C-alpha cells in the first residue's frame, strides 16, 4: 500500500447523500480546499453492526468538529441508494437516521483502492477469469486532510476494530495547534498542555520541564 502522508489526497467525483437524504451526483473533497480541514473515513458496508456505532458516534461529535471548522465525510462501497435507505431507517431498526454529514458512494471501489484501504484486490484465476481476492469492501480507514488538500494523518483498522472518534478530534487539535503555533505535539498531547519546539534542543527542554 502506498503511503499517502504528505501527499495530495486522491481526487474523486462521485455520487453521495448529504444532509440525511439529499442526492448529489458529483460530490468531491475539492469543495473544502482552502476552506476546511477534512476527516474522510471509510467503513465496510451499510446495514452492518460495527459500522453504525462509528457513524453515529461521528454524528454525536459533529458540534466538536464544526467548531474546529472540520468537515466529516464518510464513504463505503455501497450505492447512494443504499446510503439513502440506511439514512432513512430508524435507529431501533438498525438504521442511522439523524446522520447529516455526507456519505459517498464507491460502488466501483476505485476511491477505496486509490486511498489504499480496499480489503482485497482483483486478480485472475487459472482460467484467466477476473476474480477478487479478499473482501470486496473498505477497511476502516481514516484520513485527516488539511486545507491545502494534503493528507497529514491516517489510521487504518481491520474490519472488526472500531475507531476512536475522540482520537480523531485529538489529531485535529494537534494539527491545528501546529499550524497556528509552529510547535510540535508530543505523545498523548491535548489542548492546554505543553507542546515543544521542533528540534533536539526543543525536545530536551520539554523533557527537562516535565
Of 166, 29, 11, 30, which is closest to residue 174 (Cα–Cα)?
Answer: 166
Residue scoring higher pLDDT (108 or 210) = 108
Q: How confident is the model at residue 192 (pLDDT cuts 50, 70, 90)?
A: confident
Comparing CA positions, the residue from 75, 23, 20 lying closest to residue 46 is 75
Of 4, 15, 38, 51, which is the active-site residue? 51
pLDDT over 50 at 171, yes or no: yes
What does the pLDDT read at residue 1? 60
User: What are 59-110's pLDDT values in tens digits?
Assistant: 999 999 999 999 999 999 999 999 999 999 999 999 999 999 999 999 999 9
Residue 203, pLDDT above cutoff 60:
no
What is the tens place of the pLDDT at every residue in 17-47? 999 999 999 999 999 999 999 999 999 999 9
Domains of the chain (ranges; CATH) run 14-163 (3.40.30.10), 165-210 (no CATH)
Q: What pLDDT is recorded for position 122?
A: 83
Dump pLDDT digits (tens) for 120-160: 888 898 888 988 888 999 999 999 999 999 999 999 999 99
**Distance between CA atoms of 55 and 9, rounded to whole angstroms?**
22
- 169 pLDDT above the threshold of 90: yes
Q: What is the mean pLDDT of residues 9-15?
A: 98
For residue 51, indicate whether it is catalytic: yes
Amino acid at each position: 500500500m502506498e503511503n499517502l502522508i504528505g501527499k495530495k489526497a486522491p481526487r474523486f467525483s462521485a455520487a453521495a447523500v448529504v444532509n440525511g437524504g439529499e442526492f448529489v451526483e458529483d460530490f468531491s473533497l475539492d469543495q473544502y480546499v482552502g476552506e476546511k480541514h477534512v476527516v474522510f473515513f471509510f467503513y465496510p458496508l451499510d446495514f452492518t453492526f460495527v459500522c453504525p456505532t462509528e457513524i453515529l458516534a461521528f454524528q454525536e461529535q459533529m458540534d466538536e468538529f464544526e467548531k474546529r471548522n472540520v468537515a466529516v465525510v464518510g464513504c463505503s462501497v455501497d450505492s447512494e441508494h443504499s446510503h439513502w435507505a440506511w439514512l432513512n431507517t430508524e435507529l431501533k431498526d438498525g438504521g442511522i437516521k439523524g446522520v447529516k454529514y455526507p456519505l459517498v458512494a464507491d460502488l466501483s471501489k476505485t476511491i477505496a483502492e486509490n486511498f489504499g484501504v480496499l480489503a482485497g484486490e482483483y486478480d485472475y484465476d487459472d482460467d484467466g477469469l477476473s476474480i477478487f481476492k479478499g473482501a470486496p469492501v473498505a477497511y476502516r480507514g481514516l484520513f485527516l486532510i488539511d486545507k491545502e488538500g494534503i493528507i497529514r494523518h491516517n489510521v487504518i483498522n481491520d474490519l472488526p476494530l472500531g475507531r476512536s472518534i475522540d482520537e480523531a478530534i485529538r489529531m485535529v487539535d494537534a494539527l491545528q495547534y501546529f499550524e497556528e503555533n509552529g510547535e510540535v505535539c508530543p505523545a498523548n498531547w491535548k489542548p492546554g498542555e505543553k507542546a515543544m519546539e521542533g528540534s533536539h534542543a526543543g525536545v530536551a527542554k520539554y523533557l527537562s520541564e516535565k
